[in-house]
């Protein structure tokens, strides 16, 4: 075979991804990525702090993001994204917008997004104004997410959290599904599963079929936004944010919600994960 007749691999568009130092789900991000796009990942510097509000602030400083984008820029991505939910909501909407501007400034003016900003875009896409959130975080970090959503005019109808402070990537699909099922889902427009270190790709179709509402996840909205900014479409069959057929099928259930569940008052069952510490009881 004369390989000189070939032009080479499919021409690629690059997406630069800045992730926290403890991010462990690179493979999941690729599952939303079409063949013509390459992901170029880098990580923020290590900080010896458990997952918390303090850690979220430390890994989202402007200088940290600018340095990360500068490292990626040598391969000329056409868009950038900060793949961290807590790091992009902890400072509120103004801070999230400033983070995007800072990344674009360090990356030749290319469009930039963050996970939390992408979440607001996805909610607007779905027309959702009232939502349920589930997180692996502590109460204080979950509170901060709710504050961010309130600032954007989004009402949180219910929430559940795990209280974990590390090794969140070890949480199983089963635990994610159980947490979602435990959440208050009465009169809500959608469910959001927070944290880019929480695996969600395969549970989204299952939960949408069971709960009959759109299900968003941190990694899903991150890739949906970043790829659209790069002029590409994400891959995600049976996910209503991405798949028009899935969204149309859910529309037939408007007005039909799951039976109300007893609220757990933020006392979701906390599985014991190696290296993860449950949140201490309030003083």
Above pLDDT 90, what percent of the chain? 83
Instruction: Output the pLDDT for position 14.
Output: 97
Instruction: Output the pLDDT for position 8.
Output: 65
The overall average pLDDT reported for the chain is 89
- The per-residue DSSP string of 176-202 comes to HHHHHHHS--TT-SEEEE--TTS--TT
Per residue in 85-112, pLDDT (tens digit) is 999 999 999 999 999 999 999 999 999 9
Per residue in 198-245, pLDDT (tens digit) is 999 999 999 999 999 999 999 999 999 999 999 999 999 999 999 999
Task: Specify the pTM.
Answer: 0.87
pLDDT(49) > 80: yes
264: confidence class by pLDDT, cuts 50, 70, 90: very low
Helices (H), 127-234: 139-151, 173-182, 203-211, 218-229
Instruction: Output the pLDDT for position 179.
Output: 96
Per residue in 163-176, pLDDT (tens digit) is 999 999 999 999 99
């Amino acid at each position: 075979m004369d390989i000189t007749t070939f032009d080479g691999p499919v021409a690629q568009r690059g997406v630069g991804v800045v992730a926290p130092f403890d991010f462990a789900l690179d493979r999941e991000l690729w599952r939303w990525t079409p063949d013509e796009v390459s992901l170029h990942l880098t990580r923020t510097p290590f900080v010896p702090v458990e997952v918390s509000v303090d850690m979220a602030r430390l890994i989202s400083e402007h200088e940290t993001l600018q340095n990360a984008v500068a490292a990626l820029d040598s391969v000329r991505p056409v868009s950038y994204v900060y793949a961290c939910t807590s790091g992009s909501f902890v400072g509120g909407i103004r801070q999230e917008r400033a983070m995007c501007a800072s990344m674009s400034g360090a990356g030749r003016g290319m469009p930039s997004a963050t996970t939390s900003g992408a979440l607001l875009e996805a909610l607007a896409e779905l027309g959702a104004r009232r939502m349920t959130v589930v997180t692996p975080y502590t109460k204080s970090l979950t509170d901060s997410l709710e504050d961010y959503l309130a600032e954007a005019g989004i009402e949180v109808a219910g929430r559940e959290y795990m209280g974990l402070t590390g090794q969140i990537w070890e949480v199983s699909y089963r635990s994610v599904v159980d947490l979602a099922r435990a959440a208050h889902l009465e009169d809500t427009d959608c469910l959001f599963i927070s944290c880019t270190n929480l695996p969600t790709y395969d549970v989204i179709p299952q939960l949408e079929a069971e709960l009959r509402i759109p299900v968003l996840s941190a990694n899903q909205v991150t890739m949906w936004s970043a790829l659209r900014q790069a002029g590409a479409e994400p891959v995600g069959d049976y996910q209503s944010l991405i798949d028009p057929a899935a969204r149309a099928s859910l529309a037939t259930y408007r007005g039909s919600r799951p039976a109300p569940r007893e609220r757990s008052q933020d006392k979701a069952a906390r599985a014991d994960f190696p290296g993860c510490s449950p949140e201490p009881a309030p003083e």
